[in-house]
Amino acid sequence: MNNSPKARPVVAGIDAGGTMTDTILVDETGTFTIGKAATTPKMESLGFLESAIEASDYRGISVQEMFKNVDVVLYTGTGMLNVLLSRTGRRLGLITNKGIEDMVLMGRGLQSWGDYSYADRLHAVTHQHPKPLVTRRNTLGVTGRIDHMGDEIIPLYEHEVEDAVNTLLERDVEVICICFLFSQVNSLHEIVAEKIARSIIADQQKTTELLCSHKVRPVIREQSRLNSLLIEAYATGEGRKQLESIEKVARENGYRYGVQTLQSFGGLTSIRHPNLHETMISGPIGGVLGARYISQIIENDSLVVSDLGGTSFDMGIISKGQIRIEQEPLIGRFKLNLPLIAMDTIGAGAGMHVRVDPLTKKVSLGPESAGSEPGPVCFDNGNHIPTICDCNAILGRLNPDYFLGGKVKLNVDLAYEKFKQSCVDVLGVENVYDTAEGMLKMLDAEASVALRRILSAQGIHPSEYTLLSYGGSGPLHLGGYSRGIGFKDIITFQFAAAFSAFGCTTADFQKRFSRSVHMEIPLVFEASEVKHTITGINDIWEGLKTTALEEMISEGHASDQVEFQPLFLMRYTGQLEDVEVFSPLSRIEDEGDLNQMIATFRHIYRNINRSVSDYGQTSVSIMEMGMIASVEKIKPRLAKAKLGPALPPGQAFKGTREVYFEGRWTTTELWEMDEIQPGNIIKGPAIIEHPATTLVIHPRDSVFMDEWSMLHYRHSQEGIE
């Protein structure tokens, strides 16, 4: 990080998590500073501005000067996802084909158990579909049918469309959605229905919005396409208002351009992007992008990423440089055909409530979280339900006078009192501190099991992978949840609490467009088949390229700055899952180019699924084609320094504090994280403090700072003695 005000800040990246909002300022040399504030979910612009002010203060400039200078402000958050999960979205109406009006209620089978615990997945009695986003009463069918080849089998009955639109307007729906079967192949009926609906809405002078599935997600799989359409209509209305308020605050303070946000596949786009549901899972995505950026620095392209915050524990894997893209992710237990950087999440964080059932004496962590409002008990802001954060405070692992650099004073006595009343006394035990440490071990165990599960699911041996730990609570629990797994290396950062915001600033401006196809490429080609396949591929790419360029230009990018990357979704014929393949060629000219494309697919397939999984004598199928348009922007840069002595400088030492480890109070050294120098080694028990995070080093473990100022955690059996 750099606190020098000399270089002009050019990028401001903001990540609003469930508990904290982080701002990272990147200057024209690539160095950066970080600000942090509590998230304000009811008005996200407040937390956004407060964290931006702190980041500007670290540079010695005003927030107005910062906004006046920066060229890019990018914002990620969970506001739209929260609208979906809390079911506080807009009133919807749906017009679809007659005969399939129950499609919303039927849903996908896996939606009845998606995101359930392992035990609840086993027992069908617990399975229940998520609450529909549109009622059956407001789902109206009209006559008309396009078949899977795109041919009109039954013409659209336009008078039925008129009746359906009038009915929904009488019921005061806020958005009318139109979704017909196979509209991704032929959108004629949706186009006609949209024209009729717009005319009626205009005649009645209504403000009702109108969305069509062929514009939102023109991709195969009707249920997933419908879910994407409904979520766009239901959840993004409030999200747009939040993003617009953030842009308003930025412009009031001198910002000259439009605010950007992060899409699910890792590219930046305008907050006025027509399909804003693509940005609902943006915060965790930033962490994976940051990890990919770090992998280039440490020259290790196989990473496991872990983000432990106040409410969740997010995990992802980068295998030999490949980030796994999930084409049909579950969001809020709805299946969408939306490309999303694959992440696994469990409810585990420092803000989780800790409870003990008075009858069974069963201890439970979460799933509820204290969040930023009112926060843990030790925040002394009205919450009386203990959290994991309170346990850390009780055990001395958090500095009560240095939380957020002293902006929040922790009331440890209150946390002790409420934890004793709610948990210790109910359990009928005597030692408060043993109980609190047990709660931390439960959280560490849940996170450790989750990491082992994703490793085993992909046949990965941890000795080949480096674990990156970040999030506000990542360093606090790193020594616990990484123990015994056997990673090649374990790394965290001085800016771990803002790593997702850091990752967002490594992204470029991007637009991604795709179209469903079904092309089988046999092992042996006929000459006529080769020509037909090549023509089809190039025609689709050209159409997608034209659309992508138009949108990039509309957002202010010069056409000569835009770079294009064609891609395929491919599979071995007969399989059910696709692999995303970036084409090494911009056009396919002959059979040799086709073979090169297939070879690229096989290589990526082996990287993701191990070499023994390859099907060498099987034809391949192209299920989807896409085009990514990109414009590069400046990125943060880590400074490399020479390694110094193992002993940290004197100014880094802050004294000692009694901290509870392994059932007893232990005199523990305290260090200031920003004063640690490359080459320094700190042996546990120790605590390295930073205004935004705390790194706990357990007894017999150690931490080493490398030449990039990254912190390497070494467990005793692997560490430096």
Mean pLDDT, each 10-residue run in order, the chain (721 residues): 61 78 81 80 84 88 90 82 81 94 84 72 80 93 92 95 96 95 92 96 94 87 89 88 89 90 84 84 81 87 88 84 79 81 79 87 79 82 90 94 84 93 91 94 92 86 92 92 94 88 85 84 74 88 91 86 91 84 88 87 80 70 90 82 94 95 95 94 94 92 94 76 36
DSSP 3-state assignment of 206?
Answer: coil
20 forms bridges with which residues in the sheet?
A: 38
Token duo for residue 310: 């106040």
The pLDDT, as a whole number, for residue 189 is: 96
Domain 9-82+240-279 homologous superfamily, CATH:
ATPase, nucleotide binding domain (3.30.420.40)
CA 271 to chain centre: 17
Contact 636, 13 (CB under 8 A): no
Backbone angles phi, psi at 249, to 5 degrees: -60, -40
- Compute CA distances 380 → 90, 368, 405, 417, whole Å: 35, 18, 17, 12
Q: Write down the pLDDT at residue 283.
A: 67
Buried b (16+ CB within 10 A) or exposed e, 124-162: eeeeebbebbbeeebbbbbebbbeeeeeeeeebebebbb
Torsion of CA 473, 475, 481, 487, to 10 degrees: 140
Element (H, E) at 86: helix 79-86
Q: At the topology level of CATH, where does 289-348+443-504 sit?
A: Nucleotidyltransferase; domain 5 (3.30.420)
User: Which has the closest alpha carbon to 219: 569, 619, 563?
Assistant: 569
pLDDT at 613: 64
Distance, CA of 608 to CA of 319 (rounded, Å)? 6
Helix, strand and coil content of the chain, in percent to the nearest 5, comes to 35, 25, 40
What letter does residue 121 receive in the DSSP assignment? Answer: H
For residue 614, the model assigns a pLDDT of 66
State the Cα–Cα distance between residues 148 and 156, nearest whole angstrom. 16
First to last CA, the chain: 30
Residues pairing with 209 in the sheet: 175
